[in-house]
């Protein structure tokens, strides 16, 4: 588990999707690509074609990010946040979190 001097909870709010406009726009227009990038980022590897074709797994990617960075476990919240009405917000939050932690390395 890596911490990079950050807290053990998400550093970006679930509702801060407009704090990173490029990520927000990419999530709106290409959510599968953002999900694929989040999965590859959580695995610390490059994105590949299979990631782009296997979209319905945000819940598991979110759980992987929680585990990797020692975030408080919240199965119920992750289930709620990865439902269709909130999925875009969860994707944006995950992408911002992975980007921030990658930049901290």
- Residue ranges per domain, the chain? 17-104
Residue 75 has pLDDT above 90, yes or no: no
Dihedral sign of CA atoms 104, 8, 69, 63 in order: negative
Residue 56 has pLDDT above 70, yes or no: no
Whether the CB-CB separation of 22 and 99 falls below 8 Å is answered with no
Q: Is 41 helix (H, G, I), strand (E, B) or coil?
A: helix
Q: What integer pLDDT is reported at residue 43 of this predicted model?
A: 92
| Stated pTM of the model | 0.66
Residue 77 has pLDDT above 50, yes or no: yes
Whether the CB-CB separation of 57 and 35 falls below 8 Å is answered with yes
Q: What integer pLDDT is reported at residue 53 of this predicted model?
A: 64
Alpha-helical (H) ranges within the chain are 21-29, 31-42, 49-53, 58-69, 75-81, 87-104
Residue 1 has pLDDT above 50, yes or no: no
Residue 86 has pLDDT above 80, yes or no: yes
């Amino acid at each position: 588990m890596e911490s990079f001097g950050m807290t053990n909870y998400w550093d970006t709010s679930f509702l801060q999707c407009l704090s990173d406009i490029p990520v927000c726009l990419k999530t709106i227009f290409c959510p599968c690509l953002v999900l694929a990038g989040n999965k590859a980022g959580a695995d610390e590897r490059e994105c590949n074609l299979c990631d782009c074709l296997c979209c319905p797994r945000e819940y598991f990617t979110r759980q992987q990010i929680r585990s990797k960075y020692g975030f408080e476990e919240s199965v119920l919240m992750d289930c709620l946040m990865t439902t269709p009405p909130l999925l875009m917000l969860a994707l944006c939050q995950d992408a911002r979190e992975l980007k921030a932690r990658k930049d901290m390395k």
